[in-house]
């Protein structure tokens, strides 16, 4: 097959499915994550408890923490780790945002 005028390479890109029982199983026709070349694509994660496949109790903060924990488990399975960088343009939301991370990593609290 030839693609005229494109910069396509005939070099095959490695594709690897990443799955772990430590994160919720995919509930549709997709995978928890797919590694393609040097990139890892994680499917949308909700605040589901992997043991019960139910949303965790405690509201949006608890669900956000669980979703991040689920992503960390998937990253660990792929021998990767997570570094979260954020930018908030609404300073009044910093306390709520910060609260989501307190149970996960104390270093994510804003200064002051």
31 in a domain, yes or no? yes
**Residues facing residue 40 across a β-bridge:** 35
67 in a domain, yes or no? yes
44 in a domain, yes or no? yes
51 in a domain, yes or no? yes
CATH number reported for the structural domain that contains residue 54 in this entry: 3.30.1330.40
Q: Is 56 helix (H, G, I), strand (E, B) or coil?
A: coil
63 in a domain, yes or no? yes
Over residues 52-70, the pLDDT tens digits come to 999 999 888 788 889 989 9
Instruction: Yes or no: say if 53 and 70 are a contact pair by the CB < 8 Å rule.
Output: no
Over residues 15-54, the pLDDT tens digits come to 999 999 999 998 888 899 999 988 999 988 899 999 999 9
36 in a domain, yes or no? yes
Structural domain of 36: 15-82
66 in a domain, yes or no? yes
How many domains are contained in the chain? 1
> How many other CB atoms are there within 10 angstroms of residue 4's CB atom?
4
């Amino acid at each position: 097959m030839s693609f005229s005028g494109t910069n396509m390479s005939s070099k095959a890109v490695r594709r690897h499915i990443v799955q772990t029982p430590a994160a919720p199983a995919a509930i549709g026709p997709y995978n928890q994550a797919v590694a393609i070349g040097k990139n890892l694509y994680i499917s949308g994660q909700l605040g589901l408890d992997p043991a019960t496949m139910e949303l965790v109790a405690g509201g949006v903060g608890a669900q956000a923490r669980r979703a991040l924990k689920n992503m960390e488990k998937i990253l660990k399975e792929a021998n990767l780790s997570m570094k979260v960088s954020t930018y908030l343009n609404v300073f009044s939301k910093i306390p709520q945002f910060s609260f989501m991370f307190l149970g996960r990593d104390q270093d994510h609290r804003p200064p002051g």
